[in-house]
């Protein structure tokens, strides 16, 4: 980002404040509602395993809830099939504020499907996304990291990765 | 799957059947293709349907004539009003170890009703109407299948738009006004796929159930037109991620049949190991889902431990928990880690065995499964069901035994069958199959496995257009694929038929008269289908 | 149900300690590629862009633009040019800002 003086500092301060608020509200206990906008079903299988003995998201204070009214976080998979938009919007609207939207998996992040008459090719156009979790499908470990990043308990690590093999950062 | 078996001697019955179509002999290949003029189609369907062991496996259409000039426009423009459509019926002649494809050119708006003779064809007749605008004669109302309610004449289709839109309802319900019909979904419980159920209930008893799957339809067949097979494979795997190996094997085999490619022995062994690993983890996942649906949390945890260990075996052996990227056109993409397979699989399977043993002695669990969600063998035949769902009714069809491709032909397989057709029967079939899968992996694994033959770059201009049928026994049952390629080796028509396309139509039969609140999740878990496999 | 209790106790705890401790099973996971800028010629970059089925790669002048979000770790780019692309080993890829997933990798011969 190029420096923009006091305006940029205010933006950064606001972002920090937001992070602290999110952690205060959700850091210890969070209820998750999932939303399948057209996935191949493997993302759903990895999400189901979050509650399984090997991963046990409950030990971290995360819980699944089928009721959007009780949810804090919406975990969205799939490329947003256009025929599903109405149901997606209704689910999002039914979750009270404050809420976090997590786009989960390559399809939701804009990979695999390109925009065409059947799908949007990602959920970013339809829903306001707060957290992005790559993977095809993201493993339960990646999902745990994503949830912890979403509530501010783990730092965003990918920000500092440059995906080069020479070892020297950009 | 390519034919390397010495040809099975044709039974006299098959020759008679074919002579009736003006063809003298069955030939050597596992697939017989017959042209049938549409005027003769009804009589042909009657004759084939009456043939012992014949099973209608798929019905689909393509724009253009059978010779394969398929109008490969990639922009989705319809073939144009009045242009011909080729209707293909794929029959499994399981006792003869052959597939029979009939091809009929339909030049008008209609063709003889197939579902009047073979009820299994109704869902496909609806799908063909939506995509190609041709309908079975007889005027029975056709239902919406894949395209959403707003899909007008310009919506991308594989052919031309229908004259009238399909209607939106669907299960016949005979309760005379004393039923309550309510929608459930498409957003359902947490971490399950989106699916809309129309539930028709009388008190707690389910009278009828119909499904809308168009919320997830991604237009995969439409998208694959014009692609090179290798490019399309990426989408085939991700059509139904929990069936990536089964569906991609069927597709790759179809392309290989069209191009006359024979993958090397080691690559076929690797494919089979991957397919059996896929079957194993799916059956473990179904066990966990059954426990969850009955509220047996501790059983669910035990099954999930097994499932997680099996997924880690997949990752260790093939580099991906869900076995994406294993099958390639012409073979397999990478080496498998045989040492990891030998060291990790026994412990992972032992977890599943222990969980299953405990479950089979937990009476409160078994009580929920027994006599729940019964499907009869007659229903399984009538609806053309496949896989464990069909085998649990007594219908002993398994592609690995009936249409064996390498390496299955060389390793005798015990087909798991039960006869009560209830949830418990499906569960037992899955457990028996899991044990058989482990045994097969051990035997096939003794063959060294390695990476595959690379697809020759393009078939080259001037090569005649070709087509092929491929199949595999996925964990849910027979997965089929058919492709037509143009002269440069690109896809003009790809037909994907995962097992879920067949088996969802048995779901309402199994749920009828069951308790709407307590039994449906149990029945759904015992079917262990995916929505993605049908809404593709 | 004493049967289940005993089995559970005998089985023991399998729960991961992540994030407090790293989990060894992470090593089995497929991961997005990492690139060697010094061998990434424009032609090689174009081949990688063409082979990616998920359009995670693009050329922008003397940069290879890699959108990690679209990557499915399918390995086709690594198979196409193993000298230029290897496994990153990274699976902790979640972010609160989409731009953190867009990586610009300089091509070989780019003036520093």
CB contact under 8 A, A78 and B216: yes
Kindly list the residues from chain A whose CB atom is less than 8 angstroms away from the CB atom of residue C56.
Answer: 111
In which band, very low, low, confident or very high, does the pLDDT at B158 lie, cut at 50, 70 and 90?
very high
Is C74 near chain A, with CB under 8 Å?
yes
Q: Chains with 3 or more CB pairs closer than 8 angstroms to C?
A: A, B
pLDDT at B456: 47
Between A and C, how many CB-CB pairs are < 8 A?
A: 142
Nearest residue in C to B334, CA atom: C79
CB contact under 8 A, B315 and C29: yes
Is B472 near chain C, with CB under 8 Å?
no
Min CA distance, B244 vs chain C (Å)?
13
In which band, very low, low, confident or very high, does the pLDDT at B178 lie, cut at 50, 70 and 90?
confident
CB contact under 8 A, B216 and A81: yes
- Are B528 and B495 a contacting pair, CB within 8 Å? no
- Using CB atoms, pick whichever of B312, B333, B362 lies closest to residue C1: B362
- Classify residue A103: in a domain, yes or no: yes
Kindly list the residues from chain C whose CB atom is less than 8 angstroms away from the CB atom of residue B321.
Answer: 28-29
The residue-averaged pLDDT of B203-209 equals 86
Q: Chains with 3 or more CB pairs closer than 8 angstroms to B?
A: A, C
- Using CB atoms, pick whichever of C19, C55, C94 lies closest to residue A132: C94
pLDDT at B412: 85
- Using CB atoms, pick whichever of C4, C29, C75 lies closest to residue B298: C4
DSSP symbols for B274-313? HHHHHHHHHHHHHHHHHHHHHT-HHHHHHHHHHHHHHHHH
> Is the predicted pLDDT of residue B260 greater than 60, yes or no?
yes
- Choose between B400 and B168: higher pLDDT: B400
Min CA distance, A157 vs chain C (Å)?
7
- Classify residue A13: in a domain, yes or no: no
- Are A87 and B194 a contacting pair, CB within 8 Å? yes
The residue-averaged pLDDT of C37-59 equals 96
Is residue B212 helix, strand or coil?
strand
Query: How many CB atoms lie under 10 A from the CB of residue C99?
Result: 8
Is residue A106 helix, strand or coil?
helix
H helices then E strands: how many in chain B? 17, 14
The residue-averaged pLDDT of B295-318 equals 97
CB contact under 8 A, C29 and A139: yes
Residue A61 dihedral angles phi and psi, to the nearest 5°? 90, 15
Rounded distance between C-alpha atoms, residue B447 and residue B273, angstroms: 11
Rounded distance between C-alpha atoms, residue B222 and residue B492, angstroms: 10
H helices then E strands: how many in chain C? 3, 5
In which band, very low, low, confident or very high, does the pLDDT at A2 lie, cut at 50, 70 and 90?
very low
Is residue A158 helix, strand or coil?
helix
> Is the predicted pLDDT of residue B459 greater than 60, yes or no?
no
Min CA distance, B317 vs chain C (Å)?
9
Min CA distance, C17 vs chain A (Å)?
8
Upper half-sphere CA count for residue B287 (Cβ side, 13 Å): 34
The residue-averaged pLDDT of A93-118 equals 96
Nearest residue in A to B289, CA atom: A48
Kindly list the residues from chain A whose CB atom is less than 8 angstroms away from the CB atom of residue C68.
Answer: 134, 158, 163
What CATH number does the domain located at B12-136 have? 3.30.460.80
In which band, very low, low, confident or very high, does the pLDDT at B172 lie, cut at 50, 70 and 90?
low
pLDDT at B492: 95
- Classify residue A149: in a domain, yes or no: yes
The residue-averaged pLDDT of B198-219 equals 90
- Classify residue A47: in a domain, yes or no: yes
**3-class secondary structure per residue, B355-383:** HHHHHCCCHHHHHHHCCCCCCCHHHHHHH
The residue-averaged pLDDT of B453-467 equals 55
Range from A17-31, B212-226, B268-282, C47-61 carrying the lowest mean pLDDT: A17-31
* Maximum C-alpha span of chain B: 66
- Are B494 and B481 a contacting pair, CB within 8 Å? yes
pLDDT at B138: 84
Which residues constitute the domain of residue A59? 27-153
> Is the predicted pLDDT of residue B15 greater than 60, yes or no?
yes
> Is the predicted pLDDT of residue A84 greater than 70, yes or no?
yes
β-strand partners of C86: C34
Q: How many domains does one find in chain A?
A: 1
In which band, very low, low, confident or very high, does the pLDDT at B181 lie, cut at 50, 70 and 90?
confident
CB contact under 8 A, C93 and A55: no
The residue-averaged pLDDT of B355-378 equals 95
SS percent in chain A: helix, strand, coil, step 5 = 40, 15, 45
C7-42 per-position pLDDT tens digit: 888 888 999 999 999 999 999 999 999 999 999 999
- Choose between B8 and B191: higher pLDDT: B191
> Is the predicted pLDDT of residue B124 greater than 90, yes or no?
yes
> Is the predicted pLDDT of residue C112 greater than 70, yes or no?
no
> Is the predicted pLDDT of residue B2 greater than 50, yes or no?
no
End-to-end CA distance of chain C: 70
Rounded distance between C-alpha atoms, residue B512 and residue B375, angstroms: 10
pLDDT at C111: 60
Residue B466 dihedral angles phi and psi, to the nearest 5°? -145, 165
pLDDT at C74: 96
Q: What DSSP character marks residue B455?
A: P
B403-434 per-position pLDDT tens digit: 998 899 999 899 999 999 999 999 999 999 99
pLDDT at B9: 52
For chain B, residues classed under CATH 3.30.460.80 are 12-136
The residue-averaged pLDDT of C49-67 equals 96
Distances (CA, A) of B71 to B13, B25, B86, B391, B497: 38, 32, 12, 40, 21
Length of chain C: 112
Residues 6+ apart with CB under 8 A from B159: B61, B62, B63, B78, B79, B85, B131, B132, B133, B134
CB contact under 8 A, A109 and C69: yes
Residues 6+ apart with CB under 8 A from B270: B326, B331, B332, B335, B336, B449, B450, B452
Residue B51 token pair: 């043939």
> Is the predicted pLDDT of residue B72 greater than 50, yes or no?
no
End-to-end CA distance of chain B: 22
CATH number at A53 reads 3.40.50.12280
Percent of chain C exceeding pLDDT 90 equals 85
In which band, very low, low, confident or very high, does the pLDDT at B5 lie, cut at 50, 70 and 90?
very low
> Is the predicted pLDDT of residue A133 greater than 70, yes or no?
yes
Range from B81-90, B483-492, C16-25, C69-78 carrying the lowest mean pLDDT: B81-90
Kindly list the residues from chain C whose CB atom is less than 8 angstroms away from the CB atom of residue B325.
Answer: 30, 74-75
Min CA distance, C74 vs chain B (Å)?
6
In which band, very low, low, confident or very high, does the pLDDT at C3 lie, cut at 50, 70 and 90?
confident
CB contact under 8 A, C38 and A166: yes
Chosen CATH of B220-527 out of 2.130.10.10, 3.40.50.720, 1.25.40.20, 1.10.645.10: 1.10.645.10
Percent of chain B exceeding pLDDT 70 equals 88
Pairing of strands B135-136, B110-111: parallel
B322-354 per-position pLDDT tens digit: 999 999 999 998 788 999 999 999 999 999 999
Is residue B408 helix, strand or coil?
helix
Rounded distance between C-alpha atoms, residue A74 and residue A63, angstroms: 12
Question: What value does the mean pLDDT of chain B take?
Answer: 88
Distances (CA, A) of B480 to A87, B1, B214: 32, 10, 21
Min CA distance, B75 vs chain C (Å)?
19
β-strand partners of B89: B59, B102
pLDDT at A163: 96
CB contact under 8 A, B362 and C4: yes
For chain B, residues classed under CATH 1.10.645.10 are 220-527
Min CA distance, C42 vs chain A (Å)?
16
CB contact under 8 A, A52 and B192: no
- Are B114 and B140 a contacting pair, CB within 8 Å? no
Highest-confidence range of B155-164, B167-176, B205-214, B273-282, by mean pLDDT? Answer: B273-282
DSSP symbols for B306-355? HHHHHHHHHHHHHSSTT-TT-EETTEESS---HHHHHHHHHHHHHHHHHH
pLDDT at B74: 33
> Is the predicted pLDDT of residue B451 greater than 80, yes or no?
no
In which band, very low, low, confident or very high, does the pLDDT at C59 lie, cut at 50, 70 and 90?
very high
pLDDT at B115: 87
Question: What value does the mean pLDDT of chain C take?
Answer: 93
Range from B109-113, B239-243, B274-278 carrying the lowest mean pLDDT: B109-113
CB contact under 8 A, A54 and B148: no
Q: Which CATH class is domain C31-112?
A: alpha beta
- Classify residue A18: in a domain, yes or no: no
A67-78 per-position pLDDT tens digit: 999 999 999 999
Q: What DSSP character marks residue A81?
A: B
The answer to whether the pTM exceeds 0.90 is yes
Rounded distance between C-alpha atoms, residue B322 and residue C90, angstroms: 19
Kindly list the residues from chain B whose CB atom is less than 8 angstroms away from the CB atom of residue C4.
Answer: 298-299, 302, 358, 362
The residue-averaged pLDDT of B154-179 equals 76
In which band, very low, low, confident or very high, does the pLDDT at A7 lie, cut at 50, 70 and 90?
low
DSSP symbols for B43-71? HHHHHHHHSTTEEEEEEEEEES-TTS---
Q: What DSSP character marks residue B235?
A: H
Rounded distance between C-alpha atoms, residue B338 and residue B317, angstroms: 7
Rounded distance between C-alpha atoms, residue B417 and residue B414, angstroms: 9
């Amino acid at each position: 980002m190029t420096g923009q003086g006091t305006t940029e500092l205010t933006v950064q301060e606001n972002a920090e404040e937001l992070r602290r608020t999110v952690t205060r509200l959700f850091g210890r206990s969070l209820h998750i509602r999932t939303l399948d906008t057209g996935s191949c079903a493997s993302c759903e299988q990895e999400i189901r395993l979050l509650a399984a003995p090997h991963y046990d998201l409950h030990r971290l204070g995360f819980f699944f809830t089928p009721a959007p009214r009780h949810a804090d976080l919406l975990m969205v998979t799939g490329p947003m099939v256009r025929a599903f938009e109405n149901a997606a919007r209704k689910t999002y609207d039914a979750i009270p504020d404050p809420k976090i939207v997590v786009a989960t998996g390559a399809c939701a992040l804009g990979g695999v499907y390109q925009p065409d008459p059947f799908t949007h090719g990602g959920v970013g156009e339809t829903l306001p996304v707060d957290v992005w979790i790559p993977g095809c499908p993201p493993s339960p470990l990646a999902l745990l990291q994503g949830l912890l990043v979403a509530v501010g308990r783990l730092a965003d690590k990918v920000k500092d990765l440059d995906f080069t093999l020479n070892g020297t950062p950009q | 799957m390519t034919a390397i078996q010495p040809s099975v001697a044709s039974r006299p019955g098959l020759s008679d059947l074919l002579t009736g179509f003006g063809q003298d002999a069955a030939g050597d290949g596992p697939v017989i293709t017959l042209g049938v003029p549409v005027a003769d189609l009804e009589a042909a369907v009657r004759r084939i349907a009456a043939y012992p062991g014949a099973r209608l496996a798929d019905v689909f259409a393509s724009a253009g004539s059978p010779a394969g000039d398929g109008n490969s426009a990639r922009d989705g423009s319809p073939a144009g009003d009045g242009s011909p459509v080729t209707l293909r019926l794929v029959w499994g002649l399981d006792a003869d170890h052959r597939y029979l494809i009939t091809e009929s050119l339909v030049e008008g708006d209609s063709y003889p009703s197939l579902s009047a003779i073979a009820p299994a064809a109704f869902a496909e007749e609806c799908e063909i109407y939506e995509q190609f605008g041709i309908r079975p004669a007889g005027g029975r109302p056709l239902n919406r299948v894949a395209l959403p309610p707003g899909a007008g004449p310009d919506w991308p289709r594989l052919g031309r738009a229908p004259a009238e839109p399909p209607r939106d309802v669907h299960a016949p319900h005979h309760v005379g006004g004393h039923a309550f019909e309510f929608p459930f979904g498409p957003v359902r419980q947490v971490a399950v796929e989106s699916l809309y159920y129309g539930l028709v209930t009388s008190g707690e008893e389910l009278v009828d159930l119909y499904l809308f799957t168009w919320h997830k339809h991604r237009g995969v067949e439409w998208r694959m037109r014009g692609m090179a097979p290798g490019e399309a494979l990426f989408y085939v795997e991700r059509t139904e991620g929990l069936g990536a190996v089964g569906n991609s094997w069927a597709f790759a085999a179809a392309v290989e049949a069209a191009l006359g490619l024979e993958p090397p022995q080691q690559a076929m062994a690797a494919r089979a190991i991957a397919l059996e690993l896929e079957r194993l983890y799916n059956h473990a996942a179904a066990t966990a889902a059954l426990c969850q649906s009955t509220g047996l949390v501790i059983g669910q945890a035990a099954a999930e431990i097994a499932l997680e260990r099996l997924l880690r075996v997949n990752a260790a052996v093939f580099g991906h928990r869900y076995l994406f990227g294993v099958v390639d056109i012409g073979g397999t993409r990478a080496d498998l880690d045989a040492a990891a397979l030998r060291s990790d699989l026994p412990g992972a399977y032992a977890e599943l065995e222990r969980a299953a043993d405990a479950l089979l002695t937990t009476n409160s669990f078994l009580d929920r499964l027994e006599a729940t969600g019964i499907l009869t063998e007659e229903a399984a035949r009538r609806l053309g069901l496949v896989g464990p769902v069909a085998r649990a009714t007594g219908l002993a069809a398994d592609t690995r035994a009936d249409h064996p491709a390498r390496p299955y032909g060389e390793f005798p397989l015990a087909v798991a069958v039960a006869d009560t057709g209830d949830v418990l029967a499906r569960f037992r079939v899955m457990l028996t199959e899991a044990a058989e899968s482990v045994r097969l992996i051990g035997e096939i694994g003794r063959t060294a496995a390695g990476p595959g033959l690379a697809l020759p770059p393009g078939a080259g201009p001037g090569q005649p257009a070709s087509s092929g049928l491929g199949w595999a026994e996925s964990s849910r049952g027979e997965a089929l694929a058919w492709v037509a390629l143009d002269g440069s080796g690109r896809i003009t028509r790809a037909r994907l038929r995962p097992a879920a396309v067949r088996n969802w139509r048995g779901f309402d039969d199994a749920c009828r008269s069951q308790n709407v609140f307590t039994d449906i999740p149990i029945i759904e878990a015992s079917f262990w289908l995916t929505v993605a496999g049908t809404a593709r | 149900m004493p049967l289940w209790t005993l089995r559970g106790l005998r089985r023991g705890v399998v729960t991961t300690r992540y994030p407090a401790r790293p989990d060894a099973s992470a090593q089995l996971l497929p991961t997005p590629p990492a690139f060697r800028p010094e061998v990434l010629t424009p032609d090689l970059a174009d081949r990688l862009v063409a082979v990616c089925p998920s359009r995670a790669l693009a050329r922008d002048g003397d940069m290879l633009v890699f959108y990690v979000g679209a990557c499915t770790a399918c390995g086709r780019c690594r198979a196409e040019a193993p000298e230029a692309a290897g496994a990153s080993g990274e699976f902790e890829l979640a972010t609160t800002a989409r731009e953190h997933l867009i990586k610009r990798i300089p091509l070989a011969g780019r003036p520093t």
